[in-house]
């Protein structure tokens, strides 16, 4: 990955791409979703997003610490944790609202069953308290509590990974191994059905942190060992793809994803190494320069994630017609995919313009204040 100061366009591109894929993957009739990572690998966009989250968090922590000190970096991630928590509450409320609308118009019943609407109608106050305490996590809001914990973990893990990356990885690996038992200490309803066990998935986040802090050197990247690793990663990628496409054709057990199984980690590691080769060759930067909308999505990640939950729910509801097949069904699926991509990118562009306008207004105010002080002097 690009280790230059400032934001990495490679990382922003991948984050944006994954956010779009996540939205598509939650549209039941999506045509493009059939060709995404989960279709030919034992891992999916979740590993990529969590890994990049750790990578970007380490970069942000180091940048703030270098310019303003470690205390400022710690404060930044405490505020970030609070931002994600507010986004979680907002997303949960959107899911409840969506469930209410689906119930009102008697639409998309399969989705209604996982949006916590019925418990909310029965015990609204108790349900809201449970949501605030993470005991219940409506549908797509369920991934955000994990990131609340990860943001709090950054000020502890980044300094440790800087001092001793092997120790950071060892601690993370131990927690990962104990994850199936540690999850029962979290007061969540139906913990066995939780899509992401944070004690397991922190391993992917920490791997991203260590990768950012201990990058592959250019000398090693040109070495014979690196070429052997590339060939091995390519063989592993092809083998996993063949097994997924021709042998393990049924949906994978949910426990494999919940506890981040070893096979998912190995498959992701092989893909990540091949992608890193493409990054060093400049292929990803070339692509990112031509798909600036995807980069913009990556730079407005939290906003696009929240918007994507609503977009995918709307598109899924509008295109969920199991009785429609053939050309009409294909046209609906493709239309839904195009609408999903366009809406996610549109939200990102609009949000970025709003931020630029607000930043310009603040700079203008500071400039006017500076002029007034000069005149008074």
Residue 368 is predicted with a pLDDT of 62
Residue 370 is predicted with a pLDDT of 61
C-alpha 99/C-alpha 355 separation (Å) is 31
The residue ranges of the chain whose pLDDT is under 50 are 1-5, 323
Residue 110 is predicted with a pLDDT of 74
pTM: 0.90
Residue 161 is predicted with a pLDDT of 97
Task: Write down the domain spans for the chain.
Answer: 9-376
């Amino acid at each position: 990955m690009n280790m230059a100061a400032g934001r990495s366009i490679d990382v922003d591109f991948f984050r944006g791409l994954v956010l779009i894929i996540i939205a598509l993957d939650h549209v039941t009739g999506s045509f493009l979703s059939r060709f995404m990572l989960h279709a030919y690998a034992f891992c999916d966009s979740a590993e990529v997003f969590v890994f990049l989250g750790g990578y970007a968090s380490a970069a942000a922590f180091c940048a703030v610490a270098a310019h303003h000190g470690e205390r400022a970096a710690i404060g930044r991630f405490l505020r970030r944790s609070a931002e994600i928590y507010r986004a979680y509450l907002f997303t949960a409320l959107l899911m409840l609202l969506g469930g209410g609308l689906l119930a009102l118009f008697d639409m998309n019943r399969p989705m209604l069953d996982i949006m916590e609407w019925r418990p909310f109608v029965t015990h609204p106050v108790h349900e809201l308290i449970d949501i605030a305490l993470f005991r219940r996590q409506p549908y797509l809001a369920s991934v955000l509590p994990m990131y609340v914990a990860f943001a709090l973990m950054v000020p502890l893990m980044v300094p440790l990974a800087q001092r001793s990356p092997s120790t950071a990885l060892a601690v993370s690996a131990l927690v990962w191994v104990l994850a199936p038992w540690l999850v029962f200490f979290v007061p969540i309803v139906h913990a066995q059905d939780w899509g992401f066990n944070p004690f397991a998935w922190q391993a992917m986040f920490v791997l991203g942190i260590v990768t950012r802090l201990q990058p592959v050197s250019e000398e090693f990247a040109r070495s014979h060992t690196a070429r052997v690793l590339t060939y091995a990663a390519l063989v592993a990628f092809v083998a996993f793809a063949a097994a997924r496409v021709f042998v393990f054709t049924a949906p994978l057990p949910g426990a494999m994803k919940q506890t981040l199984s070893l096979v998912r980690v190995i498959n992701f590691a092989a893909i990540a190494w091949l992608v890193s080769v493409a990054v060093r060759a400049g292929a990803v930067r070339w692509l990112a320069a031509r798909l600036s909308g995807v980069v913009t999505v990556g730079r407005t990640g939290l906003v696009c994630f929240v918007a994507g939950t609503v977009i995918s729910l709307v598109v899924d509801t509008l295109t969920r017609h199991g009785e429609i097949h053939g050309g009409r069904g294909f046209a609906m699926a493709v239309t839904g995919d195009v609408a999903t991509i366009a809406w996610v990118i549109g939200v990102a562009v609009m949000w970025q313009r709003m931020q630029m306008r607000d930043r310009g207004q603040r700079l203008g105010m500071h400039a006017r204040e500076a002029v007034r002080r000069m005149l008074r002097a």
